[in-house]
Amino acid sequence: MATLSRTRARARTEAGFSLVELLVALLLLVWILALAGQLLVESGRIHASVARELRETDDRFTLRLLRADLRSGVPAGASSALWTSEPLALRDGDRAIAWGVEDGRLVRALAEGGESAVARVQLDRVVALRWRVPFPGLIDVELVRFRGERAPLARVLSAEWRRRGETLEATTFSVAARRSWW
């Protein structure tokens, strides 16, 4: 009986984890959590970088779309050789296209075949859209917007946007129409 009670007492003292084992396990857990935290931070940086690059792609797509509309359309209404900030209204057959700035956003409205216009936001942080028709068949356009906090290398190296002061950037281009306006 005495040996049975001694083995039970020894089993109770040997049961569980020692303090060293507990500290090693805790140290491993902290190391794994630190690694997981670092992975989360890095994935957040990558996500922000990809989102910024996608916005830049949207900028280029928007400028391409604006140029395509200008090439295929004819200005509706009066056109002047003086710069104007009025919305740019174009007619292309049975399509009516309007570009303008609303609440700091560049908006393109499209109406086809007499239907009501569908407006879509194309760019954010836009200050102004100015345009003029120096002579029939040519439209000059200037787009001014607030600069992003950090421009990616692709935008820095391109000649599309030029700095205008500390907080603004602008792009100016001319488009010759494919159709005669006279």
**For the chain, domain boundaries:** 34-176
What confidence score (pLDDT) does residue 149 get?
Answer: 62
What confidence score (pLDDT) does residue 159 get?
Answer: 55
DSSP-derived pairing of the beta strands 126-135 and 138-146: antiparallel
What confidence score (pLDDT) does residue 31 get?
Answer: 95
CA nearest neighbour of 66 among 174, 157, 182? 174
State whether residue 94 is helix, strand or coil: coil
What confidence score (pLDDT) does residue 102 get?
Answer: 93
CA 74/CA 179 separation, integer angstroms: 8
How do residues 79-98 score in pLDDT, each as one tens digit? 788 999 999 999 888 889 99
What confidence score (pLDDT) does residue 2 get?
Answer: 63
What confidence score (pLDDT) does residue 182 get?
Answer: 47
What confidence score (pLDDT) does residue 131 get?
Answer: 93
Ranges under pLDDT 70 in the chain: 1-15, 52-57, 78, 148-161, 178-182
What confidence score (pLDDT) does residue 17 get?
Answer: 78
